[in-house]
């Protein structure tokens, strides 16, 4: 399980351990956000005998010992962030997203086991149709980050075709919930609301996303390991909302009027996203269960305890 100390990864580790699975978590603790916060993500697993943690850079480490005897590889490790992927920092995205994935695929190909890896709705860019199906003719990412995630999907297809590696890609749509990364909108909004601080919104706030609660994303991820090899699945929460709508919901939940300042739209931000999840529902028996208001309330409770 790579990216074990991250937002989705830590929740996935907890779910697998709760199901009685032995998990080796791998993380390199990059400095995109604080190590302290990532270690806090693993707090609940600290005394769990079925969980072990290895600190390793997937682009340089000896992967053999990490993968030896494993039945499934969940590859969630990546350098995240649309806005930070421009300019000189792009080399980090190549290192952590493309090179790391290629090395893992090469190792897994020697003794094929299911390889489930995290892609992103960012591969679609400004999709021509909403909700968007997986077989869109030409994904057109609008950020360097999206380009690297599309590249990892391409690598997965190549290894599936030429090496027989059972690869499955999951296109996550804006996952939120407790422990969400500090740079993501809901964490910023809710933290500011709890502390009565100003909230910065990029653009006019009418951009919309298909928001997915983390427990639903984890459920889809676990189910996908038994799915048909070579498939790509959208993982979306099924409830599209604009940023302005989300801010209004937070005001209702907190009983506070938010102090919002609007600044220029950031390069690489898609205008709208929406997932057609028919394939995941049909082939994996999965469906999202958490309404946006319920998920927001859960993340607000976490924000009050962790960010207040």
Token reading at 96:
């952590």
- Cβ neighbours, 10 Å, residue 40: 14
| Residue 175 · residue 214 · CB < 8 Å | yes
Distances (CA, A) of 210 to 234, 273, 289, 295: 11, 6, 14, 13
Give the separation between CA 162 and CA 186, rounded to whole angstroms: 41
Has 176 been annotated as catalytic? Answer: no
Give the separation between CA 198 and CA 189, rounded to whole angstroms: 9
What sign results for the dihedral spanned by CA atoms 10, 102, 135, 245? Answer: positive
Owner of token pair 């993968």: 67
- Cβ neighbours, 10 Å, residue 110: 11
Q: Kindly report the length of the chain.
A: 308
Q: What does DSSP say about strands 259-263 and 208-213: parallel, antiparallel, or unpaired?
A: unpaired
- Cβ neighbours, 10 Å, residue 286: 21
Owner of token pair 């993501």: 184
Catalytic residue among 93, 124, 145, 176: 145
The DSSP call for residue 264 is P
Q: Which residues are catalytic?
A: 145
């Amino acid at each position: 399980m790579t990216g074990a100390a991250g937002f989705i990864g830590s929740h996935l580790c907890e779910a697998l351990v709760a199901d009685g699975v032995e998990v080796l978590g791998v993380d390199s603790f990059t400095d995109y956000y604080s190590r302290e916060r990532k270690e806090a993500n693993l707090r609940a697993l600290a005394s769990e005998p079925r969980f072990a943690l290895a600190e390793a850079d997937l682009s340089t480490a000896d992967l053999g010992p990490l993968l030896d005897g494993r039945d499934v590889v969940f590859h969630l490790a990546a350098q995240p962030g649309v806005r930070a992927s421009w300019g000189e920092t792009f080399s980090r995205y190549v290192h952590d997203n493309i090179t790391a994935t290629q090395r893992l695929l090469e190792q897994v190909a020697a003794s094929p086991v299911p390889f489930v890896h995290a892609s992103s709705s960012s591969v679609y860019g400004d999709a021509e149709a909403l909700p968007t199906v997986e077989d869109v003719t030409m994904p057109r990412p609008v950020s360097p980050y999206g380009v690297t995630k599309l590249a990892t999907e391409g690598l997965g297809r190549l290894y599936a075709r030429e090496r027989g590696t059972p690869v499955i890609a999951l296109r996550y749509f804006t996952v939120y919930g407790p422990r969400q990364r500090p740079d993501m909108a809901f964490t910023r909004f809710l933290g500011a609301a709890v502390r009565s601080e100003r909230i910065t919104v990029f653009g006019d706030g009418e951009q919309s996303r298909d928001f997915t609660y983390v427990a639903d994303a984890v459920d889809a991820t676990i189910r996908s390991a038994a799915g048909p090899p070579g498939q790509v699945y959208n993982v979306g929460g099924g409830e599209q909302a604009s940023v302005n709508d989300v801010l209004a919901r937070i005001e209702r939940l907190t009983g506070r009027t938010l102090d919002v300042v609007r600044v220029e739209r950031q390069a690489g931000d898609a205008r709208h996203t929406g997932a057609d999840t028919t394939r995941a529902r049909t082939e994996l028996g999965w469906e999202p269960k958490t309404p946006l208001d319920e998920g927001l309330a859960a993340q607000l409770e976490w924000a009050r305890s962790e960010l207040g």
